[in-house]
Structure 1
Amino acid sequence: MSSTVSTATAPSVRTTDGLTRLSLTTAEAARVLGVAPKTLRNWRSLGTGPAYVELGSRQCVYRPADLDSWLLSKRVGGAA
Structure 2
Amino acid sequence: MHAPRTDGHPEREDNRPAKEKPMGIGDKIKNAAEEAKGKMKEKTGDATDNRDLQAEGETEQSVAALKQAGEKAKDAFKK
Superposition TM-score, scaled by structure 1 size: 0.23
Of Structure 1 and Structure 2, the greater strand share is in 1
Compare CA radii of gyration and give the structure with the larger one: 2
